[in-house]
Amino acid sequence: MAPQPAPPIEIQPPALLSWSGRPELMGTAHQHDDLEINLVAEGGTMLYLFGGEPVEIGPGSVAAFWAAVPHQLIASTATRAYWVHVPFATFLGWGLPDALVGRLLAGTPLIAPPSAALAGDPANFAQWAQDLSGDRPEPRRIAMLEVEARVRRLALATPGQLATPGQPVQQVTSGDPTLQQVLTMVRHVAENFREPLTVADVARTVRLHPNYAMAQFRKVVRTTIVDYLTRCRLAEARRLLVTTALPVPDVAAESGFSSVSRFYTAFGAACGMPPAAYRRENQHDQPR
Cα distances (angstroms) measured from residue 269 to each of 12, 215, 260: 11, 26, 14
The whole-number pLDDT of residue 5 equals 46
263: helix, strand or coil: helix
Q: What is the pLDDT of residues 98-154, one digit of tens each?
A: 778 777 877 788 888 787 788 899 999 999 999 998 889 999 999 999 999 999 888
Q: How far apart are CA 41 and CA 62, in angstroms?
A: 9
CA dihedral 117, 120, 123, 124 (to 10 degrees): -80
- Segment 32-60, tens digit of pLDDT: 878 999 999 999 999 888 877 788 888 99
CA angle 275, 280, 283 (to 5 degrees): 100
What is Dmax (Cα atoms) for the chain?
A: 58
As a whole number of angstroms, the distance between CA 48 and CA 36 comes to 13
Rounded to 5 degrees, φ, ψ at 268 are: -65, -40
Per-residue pLDDT, 36:
93
Say whether pLDDT at 13 is over 80: no
Residue 170 has a pLDDT of: 41
pTM over 0.95: no
| Residue 212 zone, left/alpha/beta (φ > 0; ψ -120 to 50; rest) | alpha
Q: Which residues contact 73 (CB under 8 A, 6 or more apart)?
A: 23, 24, 25, 26, 46, 47, 48
Is the model's pLDDT at 97 over the cut of 60?
Answer: yes
